[in-house]
Amino acid sequence: MRFMVMIKSDERTEDGVMPTEEELNAMGRYNEELVKAGVLLAGEGLHPSSKGARVKFTDGKPTVIDGPFAEAKELIAGFWLIDVKSKEEAVEWMKRIPCTDGAEVNVEIRQVFEADDFGEAYTPEQRERDEQLRLAAKKD
């Protein structure tokens, strides 16, 4: 089963403070372990929310709100997508995230939908179309 692991923002990430070489080295070594264990599928870091936007729909009408957004700790600063056997295994891997600078870090682990999770509303025809789309999207 796949999990999305989100590292939450804090004042530093929202201020655009980038990791040091030492922090990148530690994260690289951790990611390398995940890759070698066949656990890591993808990973990305995000710019501060000041470079982003929100589109809020109200009864079908979109309103655009420019970043930054309040409440840094509710935002996401980056994520890993991992493939493991259970939530417990995901937790065990993620307990080892390198936190090298003595700051508090919050990490959220969430299970990713697989096709079978959608039940009968997900018709075989749509499932096939989506599978083709997935393959097409990955080809670049």
Q: How many CA atoms lie within 13 A of 5 on its CB side?
A: 28
- Pair type for strands 2-8 and 76-83: antiparallel
Q: Which residues contact 125 (CB under 8 A, 6 or more apart)?
A: none
- Minimum CB distance to other proteins, residue 35 (Å): 7
Task: Note whether 25 binds other proteins by CB under 8 A.
Answer: yes
- Minimum CB distance to other proteins, residue 63 (Å): 10
- Pair type for strands 2-8 and 61-66: unpaired
The interface mask with other proteins, positions 70-99, x = CB under 8 A, is: -x--x-x-x--x-----x--xx--xx-x-x
Q: Which residues contact 112 (CB under 8 A, 6 or more apart)?
A: 1, 2, 3, 4, 81
Distance between the two ends of the chain, CA-based, in angstroms?
Answer: 26
Residue from 15, 38, 42, 86 in contact with other proteins (CB under 8 A)? 42
- Minimum CB distance to other proteins, residue 93 (Å): 10
Task: Note whether 123 binds other proteins by CB under 8 A.
Answer: yes
CB nearer to other proteins: give 15 or 110: 110
Task: Note whether 12 binds other proteins by CB under 8 A.
Answer: no
Task: Note whether 10 binds other proteins by CB under 8 A.
Answer: no
